[in-house]
Amino acid sequence: MSNRIDALIPGTFVLDGEEVEFGHGETILQAATRAGRYIPHLCWHPEFGAAGSCRICTVKVNGRSGASCTVQAACGQDVESNTPELNSQRKTMLQMLFVEGNHFCPSCEKSGNCRLQATAYVMGMEGPHFEEFYPDRKVDATHPDMMLDLNRCILCGLCVRASEQADRKNVFAIGGHGINTHLLVNSESGTLGDSQFAATDRAADICPTGVILHKRRGFATPIGQRQFDTKPISDQVGEP
């Protein structure tokens, strides 16, 4: 038993004053999650490679900032995450994500199951502090079983990685530049109904917000009984 643990654990680092063991090749976020320690994040998922796109998981490692989903864990690291400075930065980034899309939580089917909403709650985000963009984004209902509401897309790239790495279909991609960056569907018409996408795909259930939705399932679980209604996201470390 001890030999197996020794093979898994080559060392420790310190996270907010407490030691965390890490395994070979693990990032700071992977090791922290396995240890039950919450570092806020949106674009990382344990099944897929890290992208470092949302920057919500930014920590300070020996005084230098880095995305904990991409920084490799190493012995002797002093990692800061739960600090007023970093949490203030996260709140600002969350506020920017909310205003650059159209996120109307009270009427959203994903409310209570949305990681963006849940992270904003646990970070104490009071509300938008910036002018809202109200972009003109389409809703794609061309697929018989699924729909895309691009108003809620935060460009995390999880559907792109899931479709590529798990489903082997490459249905989604991210294109454009700057404020015009957007989610693309890989089909001749550019619509979901003309793609290889299926309701059974891993990408169909990976979205952390309410972009990819199953048709005919609306509010099957009542508001108040959903995943993040029952307990904060910070108390659900490592849970799907």
Encode pLDDT of 17-58 as tens digits.
999 999 999 999 999 999 999 999 999 999 998 999 999 999
Task: Give 120's pLDDT tier (boundaries 50, 70, 90).
Answer: very high
Q: Is the pLDDT of residue 230 over 50?
A: yes
- Comparing C-alpha atoms, which of 155, 153, 119, 132 is closest to residue 228? 119
Residues of the chain with CATH 3.30.70.20: 88-216
Per the listing, tokens 């018989």 go with 144
Q: What is the DSSP string of the chain?
A: -HHHHHHH--EEEEETTEEEEE-TT-BHHHHHHHTT-----SS--TTS-----S-TTEEEETTEEEETTTSBP-TT-EEE-SSHHHHHHHHHHHHHHHHHTT--GGG-TTTTT-HHHHHHHHTT--S--S--------EE--SSSEEEEGGG-----HHHHHHHHTSS---EEEE--GGG-EEEE-SSSSSGGGSS--TTSGGGG--SSSSEEETT-TTSSPTTSSHHHHS-GGG-TT--
In this predicted structure, what is the pLDDT of residue 9?
A: 61
Residue % of the chain over a pLDDT of 70 = 96
Averaged pLDDT score across all residues of the chain: 94
In this predicted structure, what is the pLDDT of residue 128?
A: 77
Q: Is the pLDDT of residue 4 over 90?
A: no
What is the C-alpha separation between 135 and 218, in angstroms, rounded?
24
What is the C-alpha separation between 49 and 161, in angstroms, rounded?
8
pTM score: 0.93
Buried/exposed 102-140: b ≥16 CB within 10 Å, e otherwise: bbeeeebbbbbbbbbbbbbebbebeeeeeeeeeeebeeb
Residue % of the chain over a pLDDT of 90 = 90
Q: Evaluate whether the domain defined by 88-216 bears CATH number 3.30.830.10.
A: no
Q: What are 195-229's pLDDT values in tens digits?
A: 999 999 999 999 999 999 999 998 999 999 999 99
2-82 architecture in CATH?
Roll (3.10)
- Comparing C-alpha atoms, which of 72, 68, 46, 74 is closest to residue 55? 68
Q: Is the pLDDT of residue 151 over 70?
A: yes
What is the C-alpha separation between 146 and 187, in angstroms, rounded?
15
Residue type at 182? H
Task: Give 64's pLDDT tier (boundaries 50, 70, 90).
Answer: very high
Number of other CB atoms surrounding residue 56 within 10 Å: 26
Residues of the chain with CATH 3.10.20.740: 2-82
**φ and ψ at 179, to 5 degrees?**
-70, -15
